[in-house]
Structure 1
Amino acid sequence: MIYEVLLVAYLIVALLLIGFVLIQQGKGADMGASFGSGGSNTVFGSSGSGNFMTRTTAILAGLFFFISLTLGAMTANREKADDEWNNLEVPASVEVPVEMPADQDVPVISGEEQTDVPATSGEQSDVPSEDGNTPN
């Protein structure tokens, strides 16, 4: 239960961290404002967004690393379920072979007689003749 909660919190913190990093201005952005290319960060007050954004990013980064380490420790202590594909040398199940007579390659179904009657000349056959042509 706690693992799933931490996993959801990890996802939310990661998305918030990405968002805050993307909306921050670079260090060269202040130079453009000094030449009159726009207003300078009046949304977050006279000090600009530097303090608020920097602190929020640092807090989110700390949470991200803490949750990462916690999830890693929880995952390392879990026991893995046995998987059939781990050991491919041992067969998963042993099947009983079908008993076949030694002189035949095809198993014989008891109770039915086999007939080795070739197709008569009146029947159509899709099997090619000895010369490689299919009879019409």
Structure 2
Amino acid sequence: MMESLVLIVHVLLAAAIIALVLLQQGKGAEAGAAFGGGASQTVFGSQGSKSFLGRLTAVLAAGIFATSFALAVYAKQRAESVNDAGIPSAELIESAAEPQRDLPELDAAAGKASESDIPVAE
């Protein structure tokens, strides 16, 4: 439940930061071209939109960092709980992968090959 809530907030923050970055003007662009004259100076205060949008972007970036960290903690807890679910350990898998020599009759039959059994090119 809590993980889903954090994930939803994370996605909303990501969409908001994308929108904010697209709203901001580049260094060479004039604010009058985007907002229609000098109206941008009165909407965001005397300094214009740079400081307001910059601060808001920084706050949203901090929120993205916090939700990313929280999602990483949830993922770590989920990975630890998977280990308790009966999945075999790496040592058990490695020991099962080693070849077993339970069939001595095959080993003995393999040693009975003679030179006549080997094909020779003439």
TM-score above 0.5, yes or no: yes
Shift of 1:3: 0.4
Q: Matches of 1:18 and 1:82 in 2, distance apart?
A: 42
Q: Matches of 1:82 and 1:12 in 2, distance apart?
A: 36
Structure whose CA Rg is larger: 1
2:40 paired with 1:6: no
Q: Which moved more, 1:41-50 or 1:15-24?
A: 41-50
RCO (CA 8 Å, sep 6+): is it higher in 1 or 2? Answer: 2
TM-score normalized by the length of structure 1: 0.51
Aligned to 1:96: none
Please list, as runs of the form range in 1=range in 2, the aligned pairs for 1:114-133 lying within 5 A after superposition: none
For 1:92-136, what per-residue CA distance to the aligned partner results, in whole angstroms no more than 9, with x for missing partners?
xxxxxxxxxxxxxxxxxxxxxxxxxxxxxxxxxxxxxxxxxxxxx
Aligned to 1:26: 26
Q: Matches of 1:14 and 1:82 in 2, distance apart?
A: 37
User: Secondary structure in 2 aligned to 1:62?
Assistant: helix
Shift of 1:82: 6.7
Unmatched runs of 5 consecutive residues or more in structure 2: 88-92, 94-122
TM-score normalized by the length of structure 2: 0.57
Give the superposed CA RMSD.
2.4
Shift of 1:47: 1.4
- From the superposition, tell whether residues 12 and 82 of structure 1 become closer, same or farther in structure 2 (CA, over 3 Å): farther
